[in-house]
């Protein structure tokens, strides 16, 4: 008798192995509880904190200032006399003039407002301004909250470039000028050298009494 073909022998050997293969491995649908039955009770979790009454961490920046803090009476007295704005970008051009600034005290709150319009040849139409409340006054230092704006025709197509938020003016030594620390123009990076200047009032001239002719 001739030997069976090799294919039949391999098929006969594979039948017992197939009978031992789990149903899931033969393409049947897995059990509904695979890989494990669901828990009898959902896991316990802690109750979260209430979300009512929450405040933004940025709320402090929006807090309205109602009173100026004064740590130096001498500095406050000097700053109260600031009446000029000098704009360093154009200060050295022949024909340049200073602008005006007003420091106002309303109760316990100080404000500072002012503007300078450039009149130097070739710069007509350019201007700078300040509009702010004074947060604090200390030796050689004035902190304000508001904005300083610059308009320069050749910068950003003449758009108004603003520096805003908490701003600082500092004075050194016996100088009577406070310079804006954040004085870089945000549009082109130029240091504008924006200064508030104390202008000592001219002494009053007393009338000379008329002399009697004798």
Answer yes or no: pTM beyond 0.75.
no
Asked whether the predicted pLDDT for residue 53 surpasses 80, the reply is: no
Cβ atoms of 146 and 212 closer than 8 Å: no
Region 24-40 average pLDDT: 62
Region 29-35 average pLDDT: 61
What value does the mean pLDDT of the chain take? Answer: 83
pLDDT band of residue 56 (cuts 50, 70, 90) is: low
Asked whether the predicted pLDDT for residue 15 surpasses 70, the reply is: no
Tens-place pLDDT, residues 93-124: 999 999 999 999 999 999 999 999 999 999 99
How many CA atoms within 13 Å lie on the side-chain side of 113? 4
Strands 69-70 and 127-138, sheet pairing: parallel
Residue 160: strand pairing partners: 151
Cβ atoms of 92 and 115 closer than 8 Å: no
pLDDT score at 200: 77
Task: Break the chain into its structural domains and give their ranges.
Answer: 64-198
- With a CB cutoff of 8 Å and minimum separation 6, the contacts of 89 are 152, 190, 192, 193
Strands 82-87 and 99-106, sheet pairing: antiparallel
Tens-place pLDDT, residues 119-167: 999 999 999 999 999 999 999 999 999 999 999 999 999 999 999 999 9
């Amino acid at each position: 008798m001739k030997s069976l073909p090799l294919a039949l022998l391999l098929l006969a050997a594979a039948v017992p192995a197939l009978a031992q293969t789990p149903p899931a491995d033969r393409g049947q649908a897995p059990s509904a509880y695979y890989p494990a039955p669901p828990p009898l009770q959902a896991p316990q979790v802690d109750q979260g904190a209430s979300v009512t009454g929450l405040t933004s961490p940025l709320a402090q920046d929006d807090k309205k200032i109602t009173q100026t803090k004064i740590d130096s009476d001498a500095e406050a007295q000097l700053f109260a006399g600031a009446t000029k704005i000098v704009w360093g970008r154009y200060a050295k051009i022949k024909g340049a003039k200073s602008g005006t600034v007003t420091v106002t005290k309303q109760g316990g709150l100080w404000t500072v407002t002012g503007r300078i319009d450039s009149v130097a040849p070739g710069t007509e139409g350019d201007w700078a301004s300040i509009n702010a409340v004074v947060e604090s006054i200390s030796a050689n230092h004035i902190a304000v909250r508001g904005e300083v704006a610059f308009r320069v025709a050749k910068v950003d197509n003449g758009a108004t470039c603003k520096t805003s938020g908490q701003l600082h003016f500092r004075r050194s030594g016996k100088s009577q000028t406070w310079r804006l620390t954040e004085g870089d123009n945000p549009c082109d990076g130029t240091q504008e050298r924006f200064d508030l200047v104390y202008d000592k009032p001219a002494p009053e001239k007393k009338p000379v009494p008329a002399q009697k002719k004798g």
